[in-house]
């Protein structure tokens, strides 16, 4: 019988609790974006900056929300945790120890994984195109990039993709959630359940709309949740052969991260592979430097592809 109760984080204690995670995630992912959006709407930024005729005004306003909220999101975790415990930035993975080495590690893993991730993505695109299925869903930033953006908006778009998102997402998933889940025997199970719930929650509008449109539309709307279910046998294999909760937690956290992108199906499939690399790198280096660099460069490459489509 394998010991799933062994702790894997003895070198890096995880003092924060589940309640503190819930509070900090709520503040970082919901409160701050909503507060910034309310302020921008309150001072009527969309009217005096864009005018009444600007297309995709709400989505373009989201660029300002993402950029302005990001500093508050990043500092939320250390501030909340410090209110209850003596938390150091190093415990969150924000350390200068072996900074250059960890940064190069992120570049090296990216070089190894990028062909795999984009290979999977191209195969999915080919499958969708040849089968006549629904069109691939596009990320909000992709849709915004098709507009005639102001130079300031391009700066905000690149800042969001290359700096804000990598910092906030890596801090949340690889800095906070993964080590906390890896310190608990049921951590991987919780992450898998969370991924399934998140996949349904982020698609609830599509699911409601597809309910009366037939099985094909409903299956497409539920695709991210079905993907989680399809990964369940593989997860159970990982859990069965693991001696500690680390690998199940890493697997589940990676799937949870992938399901964060459930509104843009089938993006979660290749992003799950990318997340496995990010999670492994964070665990091996005990640092978020490599994952942040890796995530930032991956998003930078995606931004280059966006620009190439406009040329």
CB 281 within 8 A of CB 109: yes
pLDDT of residue 182: 96
Query: For residue 44, what pLDDT is reported?
Result: 83
pLDDT at 310: 66
pLDDT for 61: 87
Burial label for 234, CB within 10 Å (0-12, 13-18, 19+), is exposed
pLDDT at 58: 77
The residue extents of the domains of the chain are 18-310
The reported pTM is 0.90
CA–CA gap between residue 45 and residue 268 (Å, rounded):
33
How many residues are listed for the chain in this entry? 311
* Per-residue pLDDT of the chain in tens (311 residues, 90 and over written 9): 344 444 334 345 689 999 999 999 999 999 999 999 999 988 888 778 777 666 667 788 889 999 999 999 999 999 999 998 888 889 999 988 899 999 999 999 999 999 999 999 889 888 876 655 556 777 777 777 777 788 888 899 999 999 999 999 999 999 999 999 999 999 999 999 999 999 999 999 999 988 888 888 899 899 999 999 999 999 999 999 999 999 999 999 999 999 999 999 999 999 999 999 999 999 999 999 999 999 999 999 888 877 776 66
Give the chain as a DSSP string.
---TT--S-TTS-----HHHHHHHHHIIIIIHHHHHHHHHHHTTHIIIII-TT-TTHHHHHHHHHHHHHHHHHHHHHHHHHHTTS---GGGGT---TTHHHHHHHHHHHHHHHHHHHHHHHHHHHHHHHHHT-PPPP--HHHHHHTS---HHHHHHHHHIIIIIHHHHHHIIIIIIIHHHHHTSTTHHHHHHHHHHHHHHHTTHHHHHHHTTS-HHHHHHHTHHHHHHHHHHHHHHHHHHH-SSSHHHHHHHHHHHHHHTTGGGTTTHHHHHHHHHHHHHHHHHHTSSHHHHHHHHHHHHHHHHHHHHHH-
């Amino acid at each position: 019988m394998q010991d799933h109760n062994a702790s894997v984080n003895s070198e890096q204690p995880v003092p924060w609790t589940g309640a503190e995670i819930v509070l900090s995630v709520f503040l970082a992912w919901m409160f701050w974006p909503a507060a910034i959006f309310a302020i921008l709407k309150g001072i009527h930024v969309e009217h005096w900056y864009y005018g009444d005729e600007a297309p995709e005004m709400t989505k373009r306003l989201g660029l300002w929300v993402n950029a302005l909220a990001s500093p508050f999101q990043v500092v939320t975790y250390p501030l909340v945790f410090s209110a209850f415990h003596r938390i150091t930035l190093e415990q969150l993975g924000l350390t200068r120890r072996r900074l250059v080495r960890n940064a190069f590690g992120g570049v090296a893993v990216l070089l190894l994984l990028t062909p795999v991730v984009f290979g999977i993505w191209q195969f999915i695109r080919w499958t969708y195109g040849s089968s006549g299925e629904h069109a691939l869903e596009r990320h909000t930033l992709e849709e915004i990039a098709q507009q005639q953006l102001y130079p300031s908006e391009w700066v905000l778009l690149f800042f969001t993709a290359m700096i804000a998102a990598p910092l906030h997402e890596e801090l949340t998933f690889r800095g906070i959630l993964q080590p906390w889940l890896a310190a608990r025997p049921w951590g991987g199970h919780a992450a898998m359940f969370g991924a399934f719930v998140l996949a349904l929650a982020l698609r609830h509008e599509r699911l409601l709309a597809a309910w009366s449109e037939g099985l094909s539309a409903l299956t497409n709307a539920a695709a991210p949740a079905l993907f989680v279910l399809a990964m369940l046998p593989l997860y159970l294999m990982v859990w069965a052969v693991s001696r500690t909760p680390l690998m199940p937690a890493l697997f589940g956290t990676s799937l949870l991260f992938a399901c964060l992108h459930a509104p843009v199906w089938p993006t979660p499939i290749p992003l799950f592979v990318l997340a496995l690399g990010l999670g492994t790198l964070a665990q091996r280096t005990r640092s978020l430097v490599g994952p942040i660099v890796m995530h930032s460069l991956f998003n930078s490459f995606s931004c280059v592809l966006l620009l190439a489509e406009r040329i």
